[in-house]
């Protein structure tokens, strides 16, 4: 009875309530209203039903699909669950050990068989000293918070990738339209030249040149269509789809968004997960130091049991206590390594902070240059190229100029229009990159936008 009560006491000492996982770290507001994949607490994954879009696709719809079905983001969600399980495991005490020991049997004379055997039934429990369980749980909590920051960083990466590929598809659609328009213009000029050649007004060589241009424009149109198909598939792959079932993407590529104030962007840099995670990273390294320090304190093992003497049919209680002597191994190496890792983390934090500011400054300068290029092409480049082409075509129709002048003006117009699409796509993608980098939406409030910067952007960006 005494041994049974002692066993129950030891078992109860090893049980404790399950610790919580703590609160998630604060995150930015970028696309916060959209649902994301959440790993269930059970081991059986339950994926939300995926409805493939069949009509026009908006950026918000693309983001919702990617955040719910992106496999990389799902992997980070499961990593968060794994870190929660690690907290549970870290809070558990060592299991008690039940042992049976039989001595003095199988010998000669009085010790033959089991006549003189001595049997000991014992239960023992290792007791962790030095707050090992507390320090272990604290480290597991910090690692769980870091996993949450990793999830947020991956979420913003998925947002940026979706935005970039969405803009690529949108720009490719416009390039297909430009290629189709260029083909129509080339075919129209070819018809004019053919009529003149039939009338004997224009040499046959001019007709051949026009035919070459028609062929080139057809090839360009087919190339743009193939490129668009590839980009559509790349966009669909972000939500784990093997087919691009949507019809078109819907966005206002030619609306030039106003530039956010650089000071506003710099003020929000602390929302960047790569920076915001470092206080937790330092705390985790400090927790690792404290856990390593507890390794110098040995664990105490207590045991109790009952011993039976078969020769006399007597019983006796047994008690034992064991404590390792920390003579050579006091966890010196692990303690020193943990402190070195802490110093390394502090140095990396300084590096990441300086690198983040440099990266943001580079993106701001790139954004300003792209904004200047987009507005200049919109206000000057494309209108001038269009006017030059219209004048050359009119003059050619009146027989005032040669076809070579029209061809040169057409090439300039097409190149300028492609440059405008490329500049606008780069501008929108850089703005998306900055928003994902800062983890926040930089769209200005309507009342804060002046009349001198043009109309508000209708380009759909993460909300």
Residue 441 binned pLDDT confidence (cut-offs 50, 70, 90): confident
Give the domain range for residue 445. Answer: 60-93+132-296+333-453
Average pLDDT, rounded, for the chain: 85
SS3 at position 462: coil
Within-domain flag for 121: no
What number of H helices and E strands is found in the chain? 11, 4
d(CA 276, CA 257): 28
Q: Does residue 453 register a pLDDT over 80?
A: no
CA distance 409 to 113: 112
Specify whether the CB–CB gap between 322 and 301 falls below 8 A.
yes
Domain-embedded: residue 282: yes
Torsion of CA 148, 149, 152, 156, to 10 degrees: -160
Q: At 260, which CATH number?
A: 1.20.1600.10
Angstrom distance (rounded) from CA 153 to CA 394: 56
Nearest by Cα to 462 from 413, 429, 425, 418: 429
All residues at 6 or more sequence positions from 47 whose CB lies less than 8 Å from its CB, including other chains: 37, 69
State the residue for tokens 């960083």. Answer: 153
Question: Closest Cα to residue 229, out of 175, 164, 183?
Answer: 175
Would you say residue 10 lies in a domain?
Answer: no
Window from 161-175, 245-259, 335-349 with minimum mean pLDDT: 245-259
From the list 416, 433, 439, 442, the residue with the least C-alpha distance to 257 is 442
DSSP helix, strand, coil percent of the chain (3-state; round to 5): 60, 10, 30
Q: What is the pLDDT of residues 189-202, one digit of tens each?
A: 888 888 888 877 77
Beta bridge partners of 316: 307
Q: Rounded distance, CA 40 to CA 38, Å? A: 6
Using 50, 70 and 90 to split pLDDT, how confident is the model at 7?
A: very low
What's the rounded Cα separation, in Å, for the pair 371 and 427?
A: 6
Per-residue model confidence as pLDDT tens digits over 82-109: 999 999 999 999 999 999 988 877 555 5
459 in any annotated domain: no
Residue 17 banded pLDDT, cuts 50, 70, 90: very low
What Rg value do the Cα atoms of the chain yield, rounded? 37
Provide the domain count of the chain: 1
Q: How confident is the model at residue 2 (pLDDT cuts 50, 70, 90)?
A: very low
Reduce the DSSP state of residue 118 to 3 states and report it: strand
Has residue 33 been placed in a domain?
no
Dist CA 460 CA 463 (whole Å): 8
Name the band, by pLDDT with cuts 50, 70 and 90, for residue 447.
very low
* Residue 46 maps to a domain: no
- 247 within a domain of the structure (yes/no): yes
pLDDT single digits (tens) 124-178 = 999 999 999 999 999 999 999 999 999 999 999 999 999 999 999 999 999 999 9
Per-residue pLDDT averaged across 214-232, rounded?
95
Read off the pLDDT band of 311 (50, 70, 90).
Answer: confident
Backbone torsions φ then ψ of 443, nearest 5 degrees: -65, 130
Residue 52 lies in a domain: no
């Amino acid at each position: 009875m005494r041994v049974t009560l002692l066993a129950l006491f030891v078992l109860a000492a090893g049980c404790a309530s399950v610790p919580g996982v703590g609160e998630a770290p604060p995150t930015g507001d970028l696309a916060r209203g959209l649902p994301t994949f959440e790993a269930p607490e059970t081991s059986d994954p339950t994926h939300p039903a995926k409805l493939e879009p069949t009509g026009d696709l908006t950026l918000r719809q693309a983001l919702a699909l990617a955040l719910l079905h992106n496999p990389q983001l799902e992997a980070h969600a499961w990593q968060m669950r794994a870190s929660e399980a690690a907290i549970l495991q870290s809070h558990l005490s060592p299991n008690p050990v039940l042992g049976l020991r039989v001595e003095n049997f199988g010998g000669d004379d009085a010790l033959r068989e089991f006549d003189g055997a001595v049997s000991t039934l014992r239960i023992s429990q290792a007791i962790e000293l030095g707050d090992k369980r507390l320090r272990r749980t604290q480290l597991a909590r910090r690692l769980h918070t870091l996993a949450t920051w990793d999830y947020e960083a991956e979420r913003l990466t998925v947002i940026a990738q979706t935005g970039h590929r969405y803009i690529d598809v949108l720009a490719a659609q416009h390039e297909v339209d430009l290629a189709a328009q260029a083909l129509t213009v080339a075919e129209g000029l070819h018809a004019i030249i053919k009529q003149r050649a039939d009338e004997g007004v224009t040499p046959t060589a001019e007709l051949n040149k026009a035919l070459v241009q028609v062929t080139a424009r057809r090839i360009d149109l087919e190339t743009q269509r193939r490129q668009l198909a590839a980009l559509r598939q790349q966009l669909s792959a972000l939500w784990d789809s093997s087919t691009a079932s949507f019809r078109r993407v819907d966005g206002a590529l030619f609306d030039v968004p106003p530039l956010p104030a650089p000071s506003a962007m710099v003020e929000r840099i602390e929302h960047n997960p790569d920076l915001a995670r470092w206080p937790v990273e330092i705390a985790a390294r400090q927790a690792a130091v404290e856990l390593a320090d507890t390794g110098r304190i040995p664990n105490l093992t207590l045991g109790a049991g009952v011993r039976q003497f078969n020769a006399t049919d007597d019983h006796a209680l047994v008690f034992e206590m064991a404590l390792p002597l920390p003579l050579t191994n006091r966890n010196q190496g692990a303690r020193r390594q943990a402190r070195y890792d802490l110093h390394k983390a502090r140095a990396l934090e300084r590096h990441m902070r300086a690198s983040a500011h440099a990266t943001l400054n580079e993106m701001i300068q790139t954004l300003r240059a792209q904004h200047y290029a987009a507005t200049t092409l919109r206000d000057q480049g494309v209108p001038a190229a269009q006017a030059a082409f219209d004048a050359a075509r009119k003059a050619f129709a009146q027989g005032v100029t040669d076809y070579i002048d029209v061809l040169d003006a057409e090439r300039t117009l097409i190149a300028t229009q492609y440059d405008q699409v490329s500049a606008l796509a780069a501008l929108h993608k850089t703005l998306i990159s900055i928003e994902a980098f800062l983890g926040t939406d930089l769209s200005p409030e309507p009342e804060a936008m002046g009349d001198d910067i043009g109309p508000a952007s209708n380009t759909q960006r993460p909300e």
